[in-house]
Amino acid sequence: MMRYLFLLRISLILLLVMISKSSVQAQPKGPQPWWPTQPRALPFLHPLFSTDMVLQREIKAPIWGWSNPGDQIEIQVDGKSTGAIAIAGVDGKWTTKIGPFPAGGPHELVISGKNKKETLTNVLFGDVWLCSGQSNMNWPVRLSNNAEVEVKNANHKHIRSFTVNFFSSLVPMKLPPEAKWEMCTPEFAKNFTGVGYFFARELNEKIKIPIGIIHSSVGASAAEAWTSGSALRKQMPDDFKDRLNELDMTSSAYGSNFDFFQALEKWTAKVDPQSAKEKYTSNSNLDTSSWVDIEVPKPWNETGLKDHNGLVWFRNTIDIPESMKGKDLSLNLSVINDADIVWFNGTVVGSKQIPGNTRTYLLDSNLVKVGKSNLLVVAIVNKASPRGFCSQPTNMNIRPVSNPGKDIVALKGIWKAKASVKFNDLPPFPTPQLGHYKTITGLYNGMIAPLEPYAIKGALWYQGEANGPFWLQYRRLLPTLIKDWRERFEVGDFPFLIVSLANLNKLQTQPIEPGWAEIRESQWRTARTVPNTGLAMTIDIGDPDNIHPRNKQEAGRRLSLVARHLVYGEKELVYSGPEFVKMEIDQVKKDKIRLHFKNIGGGLMIKPGDKKLTGFIIAGVDKKFVWADAIIEGETVMVSSPEIAEPKFVRYGWAWNPIVNLFNKEGLPAITFRTDE
């Protein structure tokens, strides 16, 4: 049986290695839902700074944005100058620091530049925790235990969340995907990270200060996707050499100043030089007498372009009423097949490459003119029927973003259209510098780098499943990630709290079973060797049939215990289950091993309802492990077996779903371990 399990384990690892090696391509093949659909101008204020935000207390907190080069930016808090003045550099970026401020609020921040002024209300000063990892961190409150009641009761005015949506980039980004701070109300809290929310709720109740959570996680993601390329190259140069080289080759193909939407315009100009020469996208006086009148929305293969397949240009003039003056507008073009590029008054405003998806683009108020002189141009590339605009007329309109039901400009009707290059003669459509969840450094670039250096108190990390087969590498990878983040957020060696993976799969039947024991050990090793880190065990609250256990309440609570002890000064708090410290072999008969623990709290105990201690295995010098007889003796555990005359090594909980039941009297499970590390 042991030989079979060993072979099974090797096969599993080889399979996962093969899967990993087959997935090193930096970019996914074909259009993806997370690809950018609109150009994003660098804003006066970074999106992290908004109404309802939580700003880190008791620290000089960075604040930044973009303006015209040379502009002077000043910041007031509650009508009083902070003394913080920033000057926008040649690239337009300005940055300064405000504070320190004590916990509390709400406050009002006013950020003023030469031509721009932002007022942020309901701002709190408190502790901000970055919550990251894979799907168990991503798991929302609405899918956690007792979800209906939890959501209903999620009214905490001093808890806020900023959720970063999925975005995997080949290069570090300045802005995260569009997001905002949200109040902890049932409307928003149902989608908060469950672990992060329950952690924040516990801290808010116990510490009595506002808590902000910045949630940035992605299901099935590996730790190397969350680590910067420079850190991996410096700390682990041989581990990911091939994947980093492949990433470099992909990125270099774009050039250092690549802009996706500029590339789209260059593409159309190249494939259809006449369009560039006559300025199809901006010339309001263009002679379109040779163009075809086409009813929109209606597939063009059902109208005047029945035999054409490829690139088609569409133009229409839009009458914008006075009531929409100065407002941001929503441009709704219904469903388009296959890919589109959209210009409004000569400016590219959007593009999607996924056939059949609804097209909705934001029209900035600065682009819009009152009257009939607004020019809307759409270039559509299609491969097969149905072609072009494919939806109901009511789905094509322009309306205000702030009050979408009041004014509507219908876009149905007769448009001008011109067939261009046939599909088989078209070069590939441009692609952005984006990867997928497996792309090495991609999630760091797209979902962590845009947040730096926002002042945080610490980080919560629930990840490891994706790195399970590579546990030995993870021993170095997780500390590398921690060091990387600590350097980049510029708040020192901030607390980094790790969730040890929960139990999963069928209950253990053999002394050693392939699975997550080693990755848990690597997490524990990190907590022991990297300063200012902590570990929360969840070995007893998993779901054997589900990799996503729903008891996020207890996971969050246990993390809060670690935080209260490590960060908030509750040194006498029992924050962990029993943790192995050392072993002693019986010096007389040498047939027993005594195990010593710390964090025993009120004492060691067997899980209520169980009759004997389980989960311990022992071996002699040959490392052939067998089940051990284990008994609690005071603050220690004595292990032995009639099968092992002179035991040398002990392991505890060495399986996916180990039969472990050692706790302290505070109800916290012992950390799984081995002495033959």
Distance CA 67, CA 89 (A): 9
DSSP, res 591: -
pLDDT in tens, 95-115: 999 999 999 999 999 999 999
For residue 403, CA distances in Å to 328, 400, 526, 672 come to 10, 5, 52, 56
> Do β-strands 413-422 and 310-320 pair in parallel, antiparallel, or remain unpaired?
antiparallel
pLDDT in tens, 491-516: 999 999 999 999 999 999 999 998 99
Structural domains in the chain, sorted by start: 260-425 (2.60.120.260), 579-674 (no CATH)
| Under 8 Å between Cβ of 535 and 523 | yes
What pLDDT does 183 receive?
Answer: 98
For residues 607-631, give the mean pLDDT.
97
What pLDDT does 24 receive?
Answer: 53
Residue 332 DSSP SS3: strand
What pLDDT does 306 receive?
Answer: 86
Flag whether pLDDT at 7 surpasses 90: no
- Give me Rg for the CA atoms of the chain: 29
Distance CA 189, CA 153 (A): 10
What pLDDT does 677 receive?
Answer: 78
Q: Which residues pair with 183 in a beta bridge?
A: 160
As a whole number, the mean pLDDT across the chain is 94
pLDDT in tens, 293-325: 999 999 999 988 988 999 999 999 999 999 999
pLDDT in tens, 319-355: 999 999 999 999 999 899 999 999 999 999 999 999 9
Ramachandran sector of residue 592 (left: φ over 0; alpha: ψ -120 to 50; beta: rest): beta
Global confidence as pTM: 0.94
| % of the chain at pLDDT higher than 90 | 92
Give per-residue burial for 335-351: e unless 16+ CB within 10 Å, then b.
Answer: bbbbbbbbbbbebbbbb
For residues 174-185, give the mean pLDDT.
96
